[in-house]
Amino acid sequence: MYLYDEIDQRLVDERVAQFRDQTRRFLTGELSEDDFRPLRLQNGLYIQRLAPMLRIAIPYGLLASRQLRALADIARKWDRGYGHFSTRQNIQFNWPKLEDVPDILAKLATVQMHAIQTSGNCIRNTTTDHFAGTSPDEIVDPLVWCEIIRQWSTFHPEYAYLPRKFKIAVSGSESDRAATQVHDIGLQATRDATGQVGFRVFAGGGLGRTPLLGAVMREFLPWQHLLTYLEAILRVYNRFGRRDNKYRARIKILVKELTPDVFRAQVENEWSHLKGGAATLTSDEVQRIEKRFTRPAYRKSDALSPDYVLALATDKAFSNWVRRNVQAHKVAGYAAVTLSLKKTGAPPGDATADQMDAIAELADNFSFGELRVSHEQNLILADVRQTDLFELWQRARALGLATPNIGLITNIIACPGGDFCSLANAKSIPVAEALQARFDDLDYLHDIGELDLNISGCMNSCGHHHIGHIGILGVDKQGAEYYQISIGGAQGNQAALGKVLGPSVSQAEVPDVIERLIELYLARRDSEEERFIDVVRRIGINPFKEYVYGNHHQPAASRRRQLATA
Amino acid sequence: MATIISRRRVVADNWQLLKLSADGSIDIPSDGDVIVPLSVWLAQRDALVKRTARLGVWLEGKDDPALLAADFKHFALIAVHFEHFVDGRGYSIARLLRERCGWQGELRAIGDVLRDQLFYLSGCGFDTFALRADQDVQAAITAFADFSEAYQASVERPQPLFRRRSSIPKNDTTDASI
């Protein structure tokens, strides 16, 4: 964990006092709704369809057990006993009362948490790889760089009223697990020919209604210049980004309209004035931040224990879970474990207060009291001894957190959708539940193999449907909720945007369409090693399109099965 | 007479803010301190410099502050107009005027200027503020103290916090435990 110093703490406390006064003035009518809106948004507070929604930052996804317990307390005291982990390393509460929000923020501040800049047209919570600091292939620890960016972006006086929201992602390794190319700025750690550390800088990526991959601004930016370069990009965007149309206001539109080359030239020109200035980072500062992170005190571990090896060999359920939910660790004898919040029947990313408390205890017992929140809406214990895996699995299973579906089709990423969000065209959670129920057979699930399925309730793309191997987007068709299916999207180094399969379909038809996609994939793959996305890349989307839409008279797979068993 | 905030105090103000009328014309009184739009300065500079009263110029979000850099000696004041407070271009203009162009005179925020943006405006180099008419100017003074520190380099704090830490008293950097 990064531990606040006195100044970090004081600023968060002062923010609570500021927002308490703003809320008081709003409630007494001194502050109009229009004047209050940007202020509450920059404290994470939306007014939603059913109630306010409060979005709390989990900076770069790192959470201490004590913080998770505080979130459980908040869920019980001010909400309806649960929270929703979003795709951006935040947690959202859907039922707080506006007048209680200052108290909730004060409670958060006692555990070094906040809701600062989790919404609004400002620099948002910086996100990273959920295995940060534990992966064998890292060039830098992205947590340190995310914290440097957190401090720089927090209450930045010049960039609180940007044309639109602004999201930065950091990857600490060449293998991109932070979706850096679909962020407003993506930073990917790299080395130059002399071995010096720096970042490859992307700008202008994003999803939403105009999905675009980021353009390379610099192949190599030495680390000292990170903040001045960010300032240069933000200043060009703040001055010249479009403000006439909120759908054309993201930086990706500016980069596209100017062309990446012209935009880059403007940034470089701005940077020529800022380069080497006071914001240039020093190794003292990087070390100071590094030292404020507590680090796990890893113990030297024996080779695999006989019990573990035996369980792996004899217990299929356990070995399935290890295969899907356990990740290699840079320290011998340790592993990173994903606790699935995607159990069939539960909305993706939701956790009850009791589950949060139980997970906090697992973190205390098995992972140095820390956990991670992934953009796939799961929780991760990043530092678990291999010898503890069997016991952890048993306990996680009893809590309903051991569904062995990480990377599989039922590990669905979904936004809260029309059940909660006033922007959504369509519901996403019932669609996720119907799909989880359809693919509930574990053998079938594992046979299908790796597949990212993402659902967004509208074009704002909070469920990142563009980069799902299968993406499902809620659309409004003459007042009815329909779903547009796309395939071929991907995150990571081979990031790609999915292509629309064909006309949108009704909610009831979605599971049939997905099942037909899977049928064709299973028929056309050349081996079990060839994943769904690989087959789409190899044969293109037309065979899938024809198989789904080609023969309207042909009953869908589920109905065929029903007929067969009737 | 209007009141403004100047260096965190409420003071009377007699500058006249001049705007173009709908047909693009403008009436410039022969006497009195006036603030004219950038386009008027660029078009009528010869006439304007002959006036004896003080002269100010105001910029909009879309304007390029570098256009003024060679003319600073003619101005007693530069203002930046906020059409709507959520349009943040004026913050960048202020920093460019202060940090790039070297403007050291009065820099005034005008237009949709509200109490809850004063802290950031001040950080970007504004030192006087003509608040929107409905604002409680006296109560707004407290907003400058909303925060006691800032991480970033800015006009108010040219050195970022990380370059100032060594000069901050020790008890200010002790660990907060979690």
CB A42 within 8 A of CB A160: yes
Question: Are B176 and A6 within 8 A, CB to CB?
Answer: yes
Q: CB distance A155–B159 less than 8 Å?
A: no
CB contact under 8 A, B146 and A18: yes
User: Could you tell me which residues come within 8 angstroms of residue A170 by beta carbon, excluding any fewer than 6 positions away?
Assistant: A60, A126, A127, A128, A142, A145, A146, A149, A178, A180, A187, A188, A189
What are the residues facing A200 on neighbouring strands? Answer: A188
According to the model, what pLDDT value does residue A76 have?
97
* Partner residue facing A157 (CB), from B86, B154, B174: B154
Contact A161 B124 (CB under 8 A): no
Question: What is the distance between the alpha carbons of residues A138 and A410, in angstroms, rounded to a whole number?
Answer: 29
Facing residue for B172 by CB, picked from A7, A162, A288:
A7
- The alpha carbon of residue A415 and the mean position of all alpha carbons in its chain are separated, in whole angstroms, by 10
- The pLDDT tens digits of the residues spanning B34-66 come to 999 999 999 999 999 999 999 999 999 999 999
At A344-387, the pLDDT tens digits run 777 888 999 999 999 999 999 999 999 999 888 889 999 999 99
Distance, CA of A115 to CA of A245 (rounded, Å): 27
Give the Cα separation of A249 and A204 in Å (integer): 11
Question: pLDDT per residue over A232-275, tens digit each?
Answer: 999 999 999 999 998 899 999 999 999 999 999 999 999 999 99
**Largest Cα–Cα separation, chain A:** 76
Q: Does A288 touch chain B (CB under 8 A)?
A: yes
Distance from CA of A278 to the nearest CA of B (A): 6
Structure tokens at A437: 């129920």
What is the rounded CA–CA span in Å between residue A550 and residue A513?
12
Nearest to B146 among A14, A64, A154 (CB): A14
Q: Which residues of A touch B88 (CB under 8 A)?
A: 121, 158-162, 238
> Which residues of chain B lie closer than 8 angstroms to A117, CB-CB?
none
Nearest CA in chain B to A234: B92
Mutate which: A9, A66, A114, A158, vs B, most B CBs within 10 A: A158
**A152 to B151: CB separation less than 8 angstroms, yes or no:** yes
Q: What is the pLDDT of residue B172?
A: 44
Among the partner residues B85, B147, B174, nearest to A14 by beta-carbon distance: B147
Tell me if A157 and B91 make a contact (CB, 8 A cut-off): yes
Distance CA B11, CA A564 (A): 87
For B60, the closest chain A residue by CA position comes to A239
Instruction: Considering only the beta carbons, identify the residue of B88, B163, B168 that sits closest to A160.
Output: B88
Lowest mean pLDDT among A436-445, B127-136, B144-153: A436-445
* Contact at CB, B92 and A22, closer than 8 angstroms: no
In the predicted structure, residue B32 carries a pLDDT above the cut 90: yes
Of residues B119, B147, B158, nearest to A278 (C-beta):
B158
Q: Residue A412's pLDDT is what?
A: 87
Contacts of B95 in chain A (CB under 8 A): 158
User: Residue A525: which residues within 8 A CB-CB, separation 6 or more?
Assistant: A531, A532, A534, A535
The DSSP result for A198-230, as a single string, is EEEEEES-B-TTS-BPPEEEEEEEEGGGHHHHH
A chain contacts of residue B85, beta-carbon cutoff 8 Å: 35, 38, 161
Is B140's pLDDT higher than 60? yes
Contact A158 B177 (CB under 8 A): no
Number of other CB atoms surrounding residue A72 within 10 Å? 23
Residue A313 Cα, gap to closest chain B Cα (Å): 41
Give the C-alpha distances (Å, rounded to integers) separating A396 from A318, A367, B5. 11, 13, 60
Contacts of A123 in chain B (CB under 8 A): none
Fold category of B2-149 in CATH: TIM Barrel (3.20.20)
Q: Do A151 and B161 touch (CB under 8 A)?
A: yes
- Give me the DSSP letters along B7-38: TTEEEEE-PEEP---TTS-----SSS-EEEEH
B contacts of A149 (beta carbons < 8 Å)? none
Q: Looking at residue B166, what is its pLDDT?
A: 77
Task: Look at phi and psi of residue A173 and say left if phi exceeds 0, alpha if psi is from -120 to 50, else beta.
Answer: beta
Task: Using the structure block, give the residue that is written with the tokens 């024996």.
Answer: A302
Interstrand relation of A334-339 and A326-328 (parallel, antiparallel or unpaired): antiparallel
Q: Does A478 touch chain B (CB under 8 A)?
A: no
Please answer yes or no on whether A235 and B92 come within 8 Å at the CB atom. Answer: yes
End-to-end C-alpha distance for chain B, whole angstroms? 53
A243 Cβ under 8 Å from any chain B Cβ: yes
Task: For chain A, list residues with pLDDT below 70.
Answer: 48-51, 302-303, 551-566
CB contact under 8 A, A162 and B120: no
Backbone angles phi, psi at A283, to 5 degrees: -65, -30
Averaged confidence pLDDT in chain B:
93
Decide if A202 contacts A183 (C-beta within 8 A): yes
C-alpha distances (whole Å) from B87 to each of A536, B21, B61, B92 are 44, 23, 8, 11
**Out of B149, B152, B174, closest to residue A156 by CB:** B152
How far, CA to CA in Å, does B8 sit from each of A11, B85, B99, B130, B144? 21, 20, 21, 12, 8
Q: What is d(CA A129, CA A375) in angstroms, rounded to the nearest whole number?
A: 8
Q: Report ipTM (2 d.p.).
A: 0.95
**B9 CB-side CA count, 13 A:** 4
Whether residues A11 and B147 touch (CB distance < 8 A) is answered with: yes
Q: E strands, A300-418, where?
A: 326-328, 334-339, 350-352, 370-373, 379-385, 413-414
Q: Does A245 touch chain B (CB under 8 A)?
A: no
A291 interfaces chain B, CB cutoff of 8 Å: no
Q: Taking chain A, what is the end-to-end CA distance rounded to the nearest angstrom?
A: 57
Instruction: Domain ranges for chain B, please list them.
Output: 2-149
Domains and CATH numbers, chain A: 6-60+80-109 (no CATH), 127-289 (3.30.413.10), 306-398 (3.90.480.20), 413-565 (3.30.413.10)
Q: Are A395 and A437 within 8 A, CB to CB? A: no
Q: A447 vs chain B: nearest CA distance in angstroms? A: 45
Residue A515: what residue type?
E
Longest Cα pair distance anywhere in chain B, in angstroms?
A: 65
